[in-house]
A and B are shown apart, each in its own frame.
Chain A
Amino acid sequence: MKLAKLPLAAVAAFALALLLCPRLPSSDQADPARLLENALTNAASSHPASRIWDCVVNGQRVVSSPALERDRFASPDARMARLLKRNYAPLVEGEDTIADRPTWVLRLKPHLKHRPWRQLWIDRESGTILAMRDWDSRNRLKRTMRTSSVAPHGVERAADARARPHASPDYQTDGAIPSPRYVPRGYELVESRGLPSGGVRMVFSDGLFPITILIRFPHGRDREHTQGMRLHDWGQGLVLSMRRGDKEVTLVGDLPREELERMARSLL
């Protein structure tokens, strides 16, 4: 009887030892926080690379042909980086090879449930992002980017070297621009501007994914449209339109409908 219990005791002791023993730092182990920091820093540098984008729109996949992109066309913003670090936890998922280059696979896991999230493939040598996958709030793949080839450093064909339109962060706020009474946790206003048509456009972001709001004051034929709420899934998130009186609010964002609805109601 005692002999029969021996293997069981050995397994239990082994499991306990595994749980209790301190994890030894491995030289191959990547620090997720440092990887993320490197990726954010290297996002500003430009490495000519051929990338393929694959997006889901209304249930259909839209695949771009491989195109040489010098960089990501916009310089990263420190405020966005701060929001990202506040709302997402980096986790190293493993290793992979993209465009014949060894990469770390990093998952940016949101602190809150039912939020979109991202996977990044980061070049082990340079720290640049070679591939990414965006997952929506219902864990469906909505956008991917994959580098098919990386040009050698310093090589840049004049024809491909497009001027980078510097996207200066636009935080202008006008007294006339309404602010929502409810903003989903983790999101901050990053842009707001009045439109020539008399409407207002606002963008909230959590560092990775935006919520864009359009407030219009329709008149004439548009005004005769029915009141109430319309909600659609366009593959990259939800589009919610709500109308009360002369005011129409449209929200585009990847969040549960309850959150978008609450935000829209707080603007009416």
Chain B
Amino acid sequence: MTADLRRSRRRLAVRILAVCVVWLAFAGYVLVSGRHEPRISQASPSTVVLALELTRDAPADAFGFRPAQGLETHSPARPGRGQPEGADR
């Protein structure tokens, strides 16, 4: 009886260890693979203006939505023009 209990406990411990090892391997893979992705810096206000100007006149998509729709209210010179983050939630 005691031997059975010991054996089952050992099996449980081995299972938990195996799950931990798999999770650690996965986390390591995610960390290492993410490290290779170069960071891209945010655009300056003048670059945002250029991107907005170029996007504004672009033709509408297949549904008739314009690429800059929703961005009209944005002004890089006055970033607070739209509602603050979370205002609609």
Contacts and interface: CB of A to CB of B under 8 A. Distances in A.
A129 B63 CA distance: 9
B59 A214 contact: no
A212 B63 contact: no
Contacts of A232: 40-44, 47
Contacts, number: 152
B38 to A, nearest CB: 8
A143 B70 contact: yes
B13 interface: no
B63 to A, nearest CB: 4
A219 B62 CA distance: 38
Main secondary structure of the interface of B (DSSP, over half): loop
Interface string A49-66: 000111101111111110
B69 interface: yes
B60 A80 contact: yes
A232 B39 CA distance: 10
Interface string A26-63: 00000000000001100110000000111101111111
B54 A214 contact: yes
A39 B63 contact: yes
A40 B63 contact: yes
Interface residues of B, number: 39
Please tell me the size bucket of the interface on A.
Answer: 35 or more
B87 A58 contact: no
Given A63-B82, A72-B63, 6 more contacts: A61-B86, A64-B83, A169-B59, A203-B59, A205-B58, A210-B61
13 contacts: A55-B71, A63-B87, A75-B64, A169-B59, A170-B59, A205-B59, A210-B61, A212-B55, A231-B41, A232-B40, A233-B43, A237-B51, A250-B54
Interface of A: 39-40, 43-44, 52-55, 57-65, 71-77, 80-81, 83-84, 120, 129, 132, 143, 145, 167, 169-170, 190-191, 201, 203, 205, 207-210, 212, 214, 231-234, 236-239, 250, 252, 257
